[in-house]
Amino acid sequence: GYHDISLTFLLVLGEDLCLPVIDSITMSHLKYFMEPTMEKTRDSLSYLMPLINCVNSECAEYMQRGGVGHVIFALPWFITWYSHVLDDLPIILRLYDLFIVSHFLMPIYVAAEIVNYHADEVLSKNCEMASLHQYLSYLPTEIDENTWEEIIKRAIYLFENHHPDTLETLNHEWKIISEYIENSPNESIIEQRFDKDNKYNKKIVSKQSSKLSRIAFWGVTLTIGIS
């Protein structure tokens, strides 16, 4: 993903000017991505679900039950500053302007507000990994310029109300919640869909996502998902 960010700076600044900027950004905002393992990147990404839960606990629980609580769908968003998933250069540059002057975790706050802004659509999908992951992975590509501005405003507000200093506490609380969800004696989950009249239909479906399948999904995504 590093080449996506570097290419964006190259396109805007040119070869001579982009190198010192990339060097500075790499040492500050992107330093965790440069490490031999993805452990710190994974730890940073783990703050996404707690932030979603702060705004919309129903959506967070639905995602957890649907097997996307690992938030792998947001990995390319985070490590490429969304440039891997977006084709609209003005929108990419708008996000870069925000990220350059913000805390290095701001892309996570933006990701949380992308999901929260589209919570109704998330809740309308089948509550299982394949359906939710596919929808969430391509979600940034469906956002227009005006909506991006609203999401950015919400992300800044979320940042101000849940500063990175509080994220470890939020993460600890979310782990307790997610463990309760995972260990719930109820072996069924509610699948919500919109019917033809745009009203919610609910039906009970078997829980399909196991911990083993999620671990395998991590490996496959990290191997071929970001190229």
Q: Give me the domain span that covers residue 98.
A: 38-224
6 located within any domain: no
Average pLDDT over all residues of the chain:
86
22 located within any domain: no
20 located within any domain: no
For the entire predicted model, the pTM comes to 0.83
Tell me: the pLDDT tens digits for 187-198?
444 444 444 444
- CATH assignment at residue 53: 1.10.472.80
159 located within any domain: yes
Of 2-11, 74-83, 168-177, 181-190, the poorest mean pLDDT is in 181-190
- The residues, any chain, with a CB within 8 Å of residue 48's CB and separated by 6 or more, are 71, 74, 108, 111, 112, 115
Q: What is the rounded distance in angstroms from the CA atom of residue 125 to the CA atom of residue 37?
A: 33
Tell me: the pLDDT tens digits for 68-95?
999 999 999 999 999 999 999 999 999 9
- If one counts the domains in the chain, the total is 1
110 located within any domain: yes
Q: What is the rounded distance in angstroms from the CA atom of residue 178 to the CA atom of residue 147?
A: 30
**Contact assessment for residue 192 and residue 201, using Cβ atoms and an 8 Å cutoff:** yes
121 located within any domain: yes
3 located within any domain: no
102 located within any domain: yes
